[in-house]
Amino acid sequence: MPPTHDEISPSEAREALDAIEHSRRQVIAEIDVPGWYWWFLAAGWVAVGAAVEFGGPWVTGLAPLLFGALHAGLASHALSGRHRSGDLSVRREVAGHSVLLVVFGFLVVLCAATLGLALLIDADGARHPGLLASFMVALMVLVGGPRLMAALRRRLARAGTA
């Protein structure tokens, strides 16, 4: 004998679908990098700029490598998109690779911006062009990073991801 099914009213179906959509949006809201990451990146960018400006040849060569190694160690956790806060950890399959790819692209743009700004500042004759450029890029990180993640979450919400 086949199982019997209770009838679901249209309003109950709408409520269930609304609850699913609300839960989906809550999960998407959690796809992000932790807030400390942007501060770490900005401080590291300025520290490398200062090391390049004021350090000798060894410091100039080692500072970006050391910062890159430290960043790489933290990036696997921070850039997974799964740990915006300590309250919830989004599953890897849900978070996907979007955060990692977007932040990697952002880092490439930041490197190019640092170089371009330093060259422009140097051409203008200002002192310490690398340090000034790194401060400008650090501000881009602090303002642009969170905005970039908000734009990514909006895109994920529109695409129906998560």
* pLDDT single digits (tens) 129-154: 999 999 999 999 999 999 998 888 88
Contact 51, 63 (CB under 8 A): yes
pLDDT tens per residue across all 162 residues of the chain: 454 567 778 887 788 777 777 666 666 666 778 889 999 999 999 999 999 899 888 998 899 999 999 998 888 777 765 555 555 565 566 556 777 888 889 999 999 999 999 999 999 999 999 999 999 999 999 999 999 988 888 887 777 654
Distances (CA, A) of 17 to 12, 14, 91: 9, 5, 22
pLDDT at 92: 60
Instruction: Give the list of residues 6+ apart from residue 51 with CB closer than 8 angstroms, or none.
Output: 59, 60, 62, 63
Q: Which residue has the tokens 């690779």?
A: 97
Task: Say how far apart CA 108 and CA 128 lie, in whole Å.
Answer: 22
User: DSSP assignment, residue 86?
Assistant: S
The pLDDT of residue 9 is: 81
Sign of the dihedral defined by the CA atoms of residues 128, 130, 134, 137, in that order: positive
pLDDT of residue 1: 46
Q: pLDDT at position 81, please?
A: 57
What is the structure's pLDDT at 87?
58
* pLDDT given for residue 12 in this prediction: 78
